[in-house]
């Protein structure tokens, strides 16, 4: 009876813990993920969005025919004076002081979002991806050698290592958890349940031994 009692209490606590975490996750999930893609910016007015004036990104927004970027560009043109910034630093300051989202080069955004004060977040997918090239004279005897070295470096993960070293810092790793991460129930969260159940089993065993000894 003692074992059954503590087992029942343990199951009740485990179910209560799971239910509480699930309720918290469902309650705040929509807030945490309210803006997760460019499409989410359309149809809402709480968060303004823009880009850097005279950057190629701004030209692309004005000339593209692809949705949702065309519609985003139309909105930005209608509010050009208030949503466009003159440089990246102005955009970073605007994000920190206002409800504002900035479209810019992913490497620049990644660099600042991964460094202190850790108050910026990189969201959404990459789009309008472009590459960088090296100019050589036409029919240069070094062309094939450059191509070979670049391809080999990419295959060995050299570029990924450079990106991790110089762009994506570890300064902000672990400072913020997403709602999903914070809602995961780990073994340490259930430690009390195991202590309760095994403690009850130990008590039941002691009582059982006592009954045999003094019977």
Residues with Cβ < 8 Å from 83, sequence gap 6 or more?
A: 48, 49, 50, 76, 100
How far is the C-alpha of 50 from the C-alpha of 28, rounded, in Å? 27
Check whether the bond before 215 is cis (ω within 30° of 0).
no
Residues with Cβ < 8 Å from 55, sequence gap 6 or more?
A: 104, 105
Question: Which residue numbers belong to the known binding site?
Answer: 57, 105
Question: Which residue numbers belong to the known binding site for L-glutamate?
Answer: 57, 105
């Amino acid at each position: 009876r003692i074992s059954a009692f503590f087992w029942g209490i343990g199951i009740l606590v485990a179910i209560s813990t799971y239910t509480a975490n699930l309720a918290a996750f469902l309650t705040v999930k929509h807030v945490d993920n309210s803006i997760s893609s460019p499409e989410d910016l359309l149809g809402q007015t709480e968060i303004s969005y823009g880009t850097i004036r005279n950057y190629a990104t701004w030209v692309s927004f004005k000339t593209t025919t692809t949705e949702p970027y065309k519609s985003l560009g139309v909105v930005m043109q209608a509010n050009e004076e208030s949503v466009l910034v003159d440089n990246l630093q102005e955009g970073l300051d605007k994000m920190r002081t206002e409800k504002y989202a900035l479209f810019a080069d992913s490497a620049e955004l990644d660099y600042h979002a991964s460094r202190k004060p850790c108050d910026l977040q990189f969201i959404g997918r990459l789009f309008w991806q472009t590459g960088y090239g090296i100019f050589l004279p036409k029919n240069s005897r070094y062309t094939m050698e450059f191509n070979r070295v670049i391809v080999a470096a990419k295959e060995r993960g050299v570029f990924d290592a450079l990106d991790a070293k110089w762009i994506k810092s570890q300064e902000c790793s672990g400072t913020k958890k997403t709602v999903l991460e914070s809602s995961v129930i780990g073994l340490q969260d259930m430690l009390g349940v195991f202590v309760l159940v095994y403690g009850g089993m130990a008590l039941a065993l002691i009582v059982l031994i006592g009954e045999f000894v003094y019977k």
